[in-house]
Amino acid sequence: MTPGQSEAEFTVLYRSHYAAVRSYASVCVPHSEVDDIVSDTFLVAWRRFADMPDDWARGWLIGVARNVVRSRNRKLRRATNFVEQLINLRPDGVTKLQGEDLSVEDIDAFKRAFGKLKPNDQEMLLLAGPYGLPTDEIALAFGVKPNAVGVRLHRARTRLREAYAAQMSDGGEAA
- Are 112 and 147 in contact, with CB atoms under 8 Å apart? no
CA distance 63 to 139: 9
Q: Is 57 in the site for another protein (CB under 8 A)?
A: no
Contact 98/107 with Cβ under 8 angstroms? Answer: yes
Residue 90 interacts with another protein (CB under 8 A)? yes
In contact, 104 and 138? CB cutoff 8 Å: no
Query: Shortest distance, CB of residue 173 to another protein, whole angstroms?
Result: 18
Identify the CA nearest to 86 among candidates 117, 122, 113.
122
Identify the residue among 57, 106, 116, 174 touching another protein (CB under 8 A). Answer: 106
**Residue of 30, 55, 98, 102 interacting with another protein (CB under 8 A):** 102
Is 26 a binding residue for another protein by CB under 8 A? The answer is yes
99 near another protein (CB under 8 A): no
Q: How far apart are the first and last CA of the chain?
A: 56
Of 117, 104, 128, 130, nearest to 163 by C-alpha is 117
- By C-beta, is 67 or 81 nearer to another protein? 67
Q: Does 51 bind another protein (CB under 8 A)?
A: yes
Residues that bind another protein (CB under 8 A): 1-3, 6-7, 11, 14-16, 18-20, 22-24, 26-27, 35, 38-39, 42-43, 46-51, 66-67, 71, 74-75, 77, 83, 86-87, 89-90, 92-94, 96-97, 100-103, 106-107, 110, 113-114, 118, 120, 125, 129-131, 142-144, 148, 157, 160-161, 164
